[in-house]
């Protein structure tokens, strides 16, 4: 994966495969403490303790559930290479929360990449699933909640190109790469 | 800046009023982008956003775009499956933005499958 937005897309695809109806994505850039945190919470079927413990092992795979494989191990590696960690908190029948943290300034921290492109691909591919996105950077917060959007849109599908284009423009402000960010 | 503006949504609602939005059953073409870990790492998101831009710029109404998981052909990613109504589904492999645009023009709009990019024609349908 070239950047964190692709990891995000990959992990959220897991949420959709786990039968989630709502996926909450939270990105926090904490410059004061030199931390970057990406948290993904779903209300899917969850994992029991045994599966959650092996989910980051690339050599344990259960193709029938598609809950494990390379997605989580790759994100874990990306976090640990950049002075961070990956934690998984999962309860069967309730959902799963995956948190990846990074040392923000670490030379090996991958750039955030095209977060807007990731959200658009998710909404387009899974119009029936709701996504809530919060991105905190400095004093600024960018938010998107497809439940509110759908309510406003009424009978217009959220996958309409004009709607997706507006979402992309809205998110491009804080969601994209910082100017001059050239590491990774 | 923080939230999407209600006025913008209203403007979009007005602009699409009267245009027909086709759902799964009624679309002429269904395009599935395979979004497993393998596909994403290989560039599936670029392929999907390229297709979306083509649909938007040409104002196409009868093509639907969706995603699915890994199809088990990881070394051939990024892949898409193009299903034109009443013809065999075609799986295209090892795509990039330029190949995707050509597929959109010649197959999705023109009805002629591009055999040189195809992995298989008439395989199983995607979910």
pLDDT of B23: 56
Of A121, A165, A173, the CB nearest to B1: A173
Q: Is residue B70 part of a domain?
A: yes
Of A13, A114, A125, the CB nearest to B66: A125
pLDDT of B126: 54
Q: Is residue B44 part of a domain?
A: yes
| Alpha-carbon Rg for chain A in angstroms | 16
Query: Does residue B71 belong to the interface with chain A, where contact is any CB pair within 8 Å?
Result: no
Segment B7-32 shows an average pLDDT of: 74
> In a 10 Å sphere around its CB, with 0-12 CB exposed, 13-18 middle and 19+ buried, how is residue B1 labelled?
exposed
pLDDT of B7: 78
User: pLDDT by residue (tens digit) across A79-115?
Assistant: 999 999 999 999 999 999 999 999 999 999 999 999 9
* 8 Å CB contact of B2 and A74: no
For chain A, list the domains and their CATH numbers.
4-175 (3.30.565.10)
Say how many domains are in chain B.
1
pLDDT of A183: 36
> Bridge partners of B63?
B29
Q: Is residue B3 part of a domain?
A: no
* DSSP structural state of residue B113: -
Higher pLDDT, A183 or A54: A54
Q: Is residue B2 part of a domain?
A: no
Q: Is residue A78 predicted with pLDDT exceeding 60? A: yes
pLDDT of A177: 47
User: pLDDT by residue (tens digit) across B91-107?
Assistant: 999 999 999 999 999 99
- Residue B73, SS3 per DSSP: coil
Q: B93 phi and psi, to 5 degrees?
A: -125, 165
pLDDT of A111: 96
Query: Does residue B26 belong to the interface with chain A, where contact is any CB pair within 8 Å?
Result: no
Residues 80-109 of A with CB under 8 A from B: none
Q: Could you tell me the pTM of the whole model?
A: 0.88
Query: Does residue B80 belong to the interface with chain A, where contact is any CB pair within 8 Å?
Result: no
pLDDT of A63: 56
ipTM, interface predicted TM-score of the complex? 0.85
Distance from CA of A121 to the nearest CA of B (A): 7
Q: Is residue A182 predicted with pLDDT exceeding 70? A: no
Q: Is residue B98 part of a domain?
A: yes
pLDDT of B21: 57
* 8 Å CB contact of B40 and A10: yes
Q: Is residue A35 predicted with pLDDT exceeding 60? A: yes
In this structure, what CATH number is given to the domain that contains residue B75? 3.40.30.10
With bands split at pLDDT 50, 70 and 90, how would you rate the model's confidence at A20? very high
**Cβ contact B81:B34 at 8 Å:** yes
Q: Is residue A153 predicted with pLDDT exceeding 80? A: yes
Q: Is residue B92 part of a domain?
A: yes
- Which domain covers residue B80, as residue numbers? 22-121
Q: Is residue B11 part of a domain?
A: no
Q: Is residue A129 predicted with pLDDT exceeding 70? A: yes
Q: Is residue A47 predicted with pLDDT exceeding 50? A: yes
Q: Is residue B117 part of a domain?
A: yes
**Cβ contact A133:A144 at 8 Å:** yes
Across A156-160, B21-25, B76-80, B88-92, least confident range: B21-25
């Amino acid at each position: 994966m070239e950047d964190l937005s692709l990891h995000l897309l990959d992990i959220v695809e897991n949420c959709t495969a786990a039968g989630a109806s709502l996926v909450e994505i939270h990105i926090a850039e904490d410059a004061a403490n030199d931390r970057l945190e990406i948290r993904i919470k779903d209300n899917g079927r969850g994992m029991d303790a045994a599966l959650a413990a092996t989910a980051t092992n690339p050599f344990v795979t259960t193709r029938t559930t598609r809950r494990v494989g390379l997605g989580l191990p790759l994100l874990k590696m990306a976090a640990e290479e950049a002075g961070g960690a990956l934690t998984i908190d999962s309860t069967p029948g309730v959902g799963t929360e995956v948190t990846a943290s990074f040392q923000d300034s670490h030379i090996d921290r991958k750039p955030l990449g095209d977060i807007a492109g990731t959200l658009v691909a998710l909404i387009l591919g899974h119009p029936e699933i709701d996504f809530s996105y919060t991105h905190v950077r400095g004093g600024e917060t960018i938010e998107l909640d497809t439940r509110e959007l759908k309510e406003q849109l009424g009978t217009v599908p959220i996958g309409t190109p004009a709607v997706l284009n507006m979402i992309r423009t809205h998110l491009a402000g804080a969601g994209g790469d910082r100017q001059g960010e050239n590491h990774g | 800046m923080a939230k999407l503006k209600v006025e913008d949504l209203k403007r979009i609602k007005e602009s699409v009023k009267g245009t027909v939005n086709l759902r799964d059953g009624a679309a002429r073409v269904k395009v599935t982008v395979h979004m497993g870990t393998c596909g994403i790492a290989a560039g599936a998101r670029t392929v999907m956003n390229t297709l979306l831009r083509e649909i938007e710029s040409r104002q196409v109404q009868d093509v639907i775009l969706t995603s699915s998981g890994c199809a088990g052909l990881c070394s051939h990613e990024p892949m898409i499956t193009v299903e034109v109504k009443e013809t065999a589904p075609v799986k295209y492999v090892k795509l990039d933005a330029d190949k995707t645009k050509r597929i959109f023009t010649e197959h999705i709009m023109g009805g002629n499958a591009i055999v040189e990019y195809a992995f298989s024609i008439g395989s199983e349908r995607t979910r």
